[in-house]
Structure 1
Amino acid sequence: MKNIIPIFCLTFPILTFSQKKGNDSISRLPEKNIQEIEIKTRKRIIEKKIDRLVFNVENSTSSSGADAIDILRIAPNVRVNNDQISIIGKSNMTVMIDDRLIQLSGDDLINYLKTIKSDNIKNIEVITNPPAKYDAEGNSGIININLKKAKSNSWSNSVRSTLKQATYSSFSVGNNFSYQKNKLSVLVDIDYRRNQDIYSNDTDFYYPSTFWKSSIYEKSTTNGIGGTVNLGYKFNDNTQLGIQYFGYATKSDKGNNNISDISDYSNILNDKLLSYGNTHRVNSSNSLNLNFIKKTNNSKNKITFDFDYFDLKNDRENNFITDKTVSSNVTSEYTENISKQNIQNISSRIDFEMLNDLVNINFGAKVSFTETKNNLSLTSYDTTEGLSSVNLSQNNIFNYKENIQALYLSLNKKINKWNFKAGLRAESTQNKGYSAELDQTNKNNFIKLFPTLYVLYKSNDKNTFSFSYGKRIRRPNFSNLNPAKWYFNSNSYEEGNPFLQPSYSDNVELSHTYNSFLTSSVSFTKTNNGFGQITLHNSDDLQNLDTQIIVRRNYFNSSSLNFSEEINFDIFKWWNTSSALSLFYSETNTNSDVLAPKFSGWGGDFSSTNSFILNKSKSISLQVIYNYTYPSIQQENKISDFSNLSIGVKAQFLKRSLQASLFANNILRSDVMTINSTSGNVYQQFKQYYDTQYVRLSLSYNFGNNKINLNKRNTSNEDEKKRSN
């Protein structure tokens, strides 16, 4: 479990209203002075609502020229570490686009989110306890990314370019065009990027008689293009139809170097393991959404229908050479590891919303059909004498099908100062996996209920109390079910587990908000049948070297108690500050024979965001962000402290049509995490660094026409795109 504290930043609100000429309360003023009065409102960067936090991306200095991953790094209650996204006090979560699940995970999720630029993001909602309308998938919370709507009566075009300098340089260019005339709306967005990143991991293994000191260094170069086409047609005020296509394709090459020095505890170097090679990866994805909205004549009730298709192709080829020096005996191996994955999903849902004076009712249904095909092969050759002979060969086909049917009902009622909301979701799941190598078929069929409850009490204008409860499910990623082996080097590999079962969590949260200034909350999460990865250590008698094997198991039950305080205020009109502190206590009980039976401990996070307006026209702004994560115990892992200091400057020119921003991340290079644990009496330590110290320069130019009755509407990008890998 990762516990992340929010990064908060507010900007001072400005009252907005628009008054037309006519006979009203201010008609006594001269007509020439009241034809139109308009004062623009600038929303707070962070807004606290009953069941979620809303991060208004367009008002953040550090968001300019970024992609969705960069934005999530600075969003409240969200942390992106080790290519995993987590919410404060929550073990797992899901990502949504415009209220629709993304059925991707791991590298595929990260790559997809990098194709979404901040210029297209309206806000990010952090939902710690999702209501019954949402899929029960995701042990804890939901991050919902809402895309922008276009201005009415206008067409617009935005050209953008970003240059990022980390260890190596990266860049991206893109264009966004939107148009609406009469009943038709069109949105076209395209983006090209070329990223160069590094990853390093210094690993130590303390075996009974030997000590392994390993150094992993990877440099990856990725070229990718992504695009969205969104068409909408509004038949009348009550009926509208939308069609959206999203697709992307990426190619990446990753150079791998892994050096392991193996010595005894007298510091005498005995053996050496050197592995170097290249991983080539090709990804492509297509998704199509058809949505239909029908309102009744009074616009209080409506029906929403969605049909979605999604496919993903993920091909990897990892070729590497391993040179071993064991007891003065030198050997060499060449390994070819090839993985091909194809995922297809078809899903559909219908939602009904009925509003009346007695009680507001929401109910609906959803069906989802997913099929994944995996083909993984491995061949290892002994090239010591220059002649190739096969040492190891593997060829496994793994096919997996999963069907889910769901029904939900949600009721909402306001009584004076009280607001009640209760829901129940029922999900029926059928899945089947077949491994050709094992000649084994695994089937599961189950029905589960997921209740939710919200209570809000507003005692007065300054004090609001809220309570929420929700039950969730977390299903394994598709790739984690594949029993085939994927080798990192000849003595290290990972394998999936076709017997993995879902985990379940119960989440309770109580919070108090004072005058939109101070928010206090306490939450409790209990997870049953939790699953994750464990490192096993086996002795290789043929090579006289130990082997590290990463496996997936249902191996723990855990609970976590979290306390948090959030404060937001303006020190001066030109200086806003927002800070948050979170403390948590976690306890994990395991049933693994290689881990201790129990782990427990405290952890915490602190964050502070300060925003400054630097000139009278408010066209130049500065933002300083600092995050600190205290040492903690998360499941069986002990995590070191780490921090991040970032500074961003944004300036607007040419009547705000031209925008330039400069953002420096991880200035002190202190965002380095050390993880240690003990597995099978082997103490292991990992010191990881992702290429997070960088400077990013972004430019964007916007132009258009606001007088042709334009209204862009972004429908969903994705439905069911979550667990692919």
Structure 2
Amino acid sequence: MKKIIILAAAISGSVVFAQEKKSDTVKTKSIEGITLTKQVFKKQSDRFVYDVAASPVAKGNTTFDLLKQTPLLSSTDDKTLKIAGKNNALIYINGRKTNMDAESLAQFLKNTPAENIQKIEVITVPGSEYQVESSDGIINIVLKKKMSDGTNGNMRFSNTQNKYNSSQASFSVNYRKDKLGISANLNGGESIQPQSYILRNGTDQMKNESVGNIDDPNKNIGGYLNIDYQLNDNNNLALSWNSWANRSYDSTIDLFNTLTQPNEDGILETNYTRTKNREDARNYNNSVNLNYELKLDSLGSKLNVNAAYLIYKRFQFSKNNTMLPGITNWSDFSRTGKTIVQDIPQIINNFSGTADYIQKFKNDFTFSAGGNFNKTKTDNDTKNLTYDYTYDDLGHLTGTTTSPELNHFIYDENIYGLYLTFEKKFSDKFSGKIGARYEITNSLGTADSPTNPIESQRHQTIKRNYNNFLPYLSFNYAINDKNNISYSFSSRMRRPSFWELNPVRNYITEYNYTQNNPFVKASSTYNQELTYMYKNSYFLILNHSYLKDQITQVPLQGFTKTTDGQVSDQSVLRYIRTNFGDRQEMSAMVGIQKTFFKQYLTLNFNAGIQHNINNGSLSEDPTTGETFVDKEGKPLVYTNHVKSTSFIVTSNNTLRLDKKKTWFLGVNYFFVDKQQIELGMLKNLMSLDLSIKKNWNDWTFAVNLNDVLRTNVVEIEDYQPNGNYNYIRNDQYRRSVTVSLTYNFGNQKVKKVRDIEGASDAIKSRTR
């Protein structure tokens, strides 16, 4: 059900402080970190660094739980992560971006023990050397690496209970012998992801409501293999492989639908139907990256080259049934009114390469130059069959009409990029960096739809060629030992994800569905960020982002009117991916990461405000050219010109309960005030999470209670000036209890691994 109810992903992706992005590295003066037992949290030139190995919260946790407790990071949907003040956060592991779709990535992080992590780097504004999009930020997870010869690792088992029960397990191992280092992880689990929905929409003339549940069973297995070999003192070769497989069979949607509208005589009539959907889906992610690094001198000059290959496959087969009430028994929905059968495969192949040259000079000057190439092909051969059933007055089946719909969409894209950066440390207090990227994008999309009744839409070609110059600037000034200030500016493009371009419909009900769009074009984003730190513990971050031609999901509803003037006899609601005007986001956040009472309390607290300015309108389905009108034929335009200001609080606290540092209590809380997003007004969200953990030699036992008050439920309400309204309530049963057991074995001495940015990093997020 991942792509059927893409509405849920759109909701969670819009929430403040909740998704996945990239950011670049801008070097400035390092600031001493806060002291727990070591420098746990510190600001480096272009990033914030959380030293997990020195923190007591890592042991017994999962990587996902640890990320939620990292300063500046949060999650409101328990699936995606967001950097404060950013729309999205992209997950890197050892400098290489993960190759997984959003659902698989969440499961991977939840099944990977936090003991594997050396540190977490939060890069809020990326430099020109990074291939990032939009206002993305980067979360780079640096895994541990053995320092001495031998083997170590860990095993973790957990069980979670919410509406259903689920279980997870993982095994990790690290091996080192002389110049050879190997690390590997295997993890998996099974679960049923439940959701409940209330969907209401309509006008002053009609009302439509769908209420029901979604159950999505999942089985996952995945892992990684990293091999690093030091050829000699100056040459290093590394190979990494990431793999993930997901099987989601017998996913179901069961919705009760109520439609009230006037009949031909103007009298209100209410009709009832039931939507019963079933879906089988599976997907596979496999990526391999080969890295070569040549050290050029003792100052840190180097040449870094990557070559990567990515293949992503998803197969989705679904049956959408609209059930009619019985003739004599209205509670018996045994007659099928319509069946929509969909076969929606997607295959993505990507080859990419990067080369980076970094030259350091003795006068604290660094010059960097490099380039990248990405070649991607997506193949989407979609087949739809619609069966309409007719009955006589006694309810007997009298006939069936079959309507096939075929669409074969192939998308080829080539991206070429070059960058230059100049970095200079002018004094012990002041340093700066300037750079720029130049990107060339050539794409060709072809859609063959032989069954399309509109002749002009049976074969469509969408060709785009565009070039972008993307400047970058940053500086860092250490006022004194206690005060530091830094500023960054960057400009980025946001290319549509590959699934957003695939022109298919995913049905929620017969007249309520999502619509992808091959005509979506790249959007532009301009980011500014000002950061102030005091005493290495307190920080203030001011952020402004301007998004032009933003890519989002827009709800259009009403009666459709074709280009030749024909008006449908049934109102529909379409959630359409498209470019929807401009948007500004401004945020101010204060935070603290500090220990108190002789390290018995570790406090990680953020609070701030975010102001959103929306400016968009849409009246036409960009995929068909249809416009939307009311019953009298008056045009209906969806608009969002609303400004909103919201308050955000995140507090993650760890209490050490004994002198021996074996018992820990965790109290975590977040609150997101109501705010205007593209789909309407998102009501406030909050969650209280509690945990208790016991460390005993190499064993860790933990119990986590999530969303104790059951307040993390999404509600969106939208009222349009033309009388249209739309309401969504989505409960994903986030209140749960998880019991876990972790065992660490072998020699636990580790050292920092070499950071490697994979060649296909910029492509991976677009498979989500």
The two structures have a TM-score, normalised by structure 1, of: 0.89
Pick from 342, 348, 360: which aligns with 2:347? 342
Q: Distance in 2 between matches of 1:636 and 1:531?
A: 13
Which residue in the other structure is 1:257 paired with? 254
CA separation of 1:360 and 1:711: change in aligned 2, threshold 3 A: closer
Q: Distance in 1 between matches of 2:739 and 2:425?
A: 49
Partner amino acid, structure 1, of 2:651: S
Asked if the contact 1:2–1:86 (Cα under 8 Å) also holds between the matched residues in 2, the reply is no
Asked if the contact 1:94–1:138 (Cα under 8 Å) also holds between the matched residues in 2, the reply is no
Partner amino acid, structure 2, of 1:214: S
Pick from 708, 729, 735: which aligns with 1:693? 735
Q: Distance in 1 between matches of 2:738 and 2:755?
A: 28
Pick from 47, 55, 58: which aligns with 1:52? 47
More off after superposition, 508-517 vs 316-325: 316-325
Which residue in the other structure is 1:671 paired with? 712
Q: Distance in 1 between matches of 2:104 and 2:18?
A: 25
Query: Is the aligned partner of 1:274 residue 2:274?
Result: yes
Larger RCO: 1 or 2 (CA < 8 Å, sep 6+): 1
- Give matches, 1:592-671, under 5 Å: 592-593=618-619, 594-596=637-639, 598-635=641-678, 637-654=680-697, 657-671=698-712
Which residue in the other structure is 1:420 paired with? 432
Pick from 432, 447, 467: which aligns with 2:444? 432
Equivalences, count: 692
Query: Is the aligned partner of 1:507 residue 2:518?
Result: no
Partner amino acid, structure 2, of 1:670: T
Q: Distance in 2 between matches of 1:485 and 1:640?
A: 28
Q: CA deviation at 1:115?
A: 5.6
Asked if the contact 2:555–2:575 (Cα under 8 Å) also holds between the matched residues in 1, the reply is yes
- What SS is found at the alignment partner of 1:721? helix
Q: Distance in 2 between matches of 1:706 and 1:65?
A: 15
Query: Is the aligned partner of 1:564 residue 2:589?
Result: yes
Q: Distance in 2 between matches of 1:106 and 1:525?
A: 24
Query: Is the aligned partner of 1:4 residue 2:14?
Result: no
- Give matches, 1:213-252, under 5 Å: 213-252=209-248
Q: Distance in 2 between matches of 1:675 and 1:63?
A: 35
Query: Is the aligned partner of 1:586 residue 2:612?
Result: yes
CA separation of 1:315 and 1:110: change in aligned 2, threshold 3 A: farther
Asked if the contact 1:311–1:342 (Cα under 8 Å) also holds between the matched residues in 2, the reply is yes
Instruction: Give the RMSD, CA atoms, in angstroms.
Output: 3.0
Which residue in the other structure is 2:24 paired with? none
Query: Is the aligned partner of 1:366 residue 2:391?
Result: no
Q: Distance in 1 between matches of 2:527 and 2:481?
A: 28
The two structures have a TM-score, normalised by structure 2, of: 0.84
- What SS is found at the alignment partner of 1:167? coil
More off after superposition, 530-539 vs 432-441: 530-539
Pick from 141, 144, 149: which aligns with 1:148? 144
Asked if the contact 1:289–1:716 (Cα under 8 Å) also holds between the matched residues in 2, the reply is no
Unaligned stretches of 5+ in structure 2? 1-13, 20-31, 391-395, 450-457, 561-565, 620-636
Q: Distance in 1 between matches of 2:327 and 2:739?
A: 52
Unaligned stretches of 5+ in structure 1? 15-40
Partner amino acid, structure 2, of 1:53: F
Asked if the contact 2:430–2:477 (Cα under 8 Å) also holds between the matched residues in 1, the reply is yes
Which residue in the other structure is 1:26 paired with? none
Q: CA deviation at 1:268?
A: 8.2
Pick from 547, 557, 581: which aligns with 1:537? 557
Asked if the contact 1:381–1:388 (Cα under 8 Å) also holds between the matched residues in 2, the reply is no
Q: CA deviation at 1:86?
A: 3.5
Query: Is the aligned partner of 1:450 residue 2:491?
Result: no
Report % sequence identity: 25
Q: CA deviation at 1:377?
A: 1.2
- What SS is found at the alignment partner of 1:480? helix
Query: Is the aligned partner of 1:78 residue 2:73?
Result: yes
Which residue in the other structure is 1:13 paired with? 35
Partner amino acid, structure 2, of 1:225: I
- Give matches, 1:471-486, under 5 Å: 471-486=491-506
- What SS is found at the alignment partner of 2:618? coil
Which residue in the other structure is 2:23 paired with? none
Q: Distance in 1 between matches of 2:714 and 2:69?
A: 18
Partner amino acid, structure 2, of 1:613: R
More off after superposition, 431-440 vs 152-161: 152-161
Pick from 549, 560, 573: which aligns with 1:548? 573
Pick from 461, 481, 506: which aligns with 1:461? 481
Partner amino acid, structure 1, of 2:400: S
Partner amino acid, structure 2, of 1:687: R
Q: CA deviation at 1:575?
A: 1.6
Pick from 411, 420, 425: which aligns with 2:422? 411
Q: CA deviation at 1:597?
A: 5.5
Q: CA deviation at 1:87?
A: 3.1
Which residue in the other structure is 1:202 paired with? 198
Which residue in the other structure is 1:302 paired with? 302
Q: Distance in 2 between matches of 1:472 and 1:119?
A: 35
Q: CA deviation at 1:639?
A: 1.2
Q: Distance in 1 between matches of 2:520 and 2:151?
A: 50
Pick from 107, 110, 126: which aligns with 2:122? 126
Asked if the contact 2:111–2:168 (Cα under 8 Å) also holds between the matched residues in 1, the reply is no
Which residue in the other structure is 1:96 paired with? 92
Query: Is the aligned partner of 1:185 residue 2:181?
Result: yes
Q: Distance in 1 between matches of 2:115 and 2:325?
A: 53
Q: CA deviation at 1:84?
A: 4.9
CA separation of 1:635 and 1:221: change in aligned 2, threshold 3 A: closer
More off after superposition, 200-209 vs 644-653: 200-209
Partner amino acid, structure 1, of 2:426: I
Q: CA deviation at 1:367?
A: 0.8
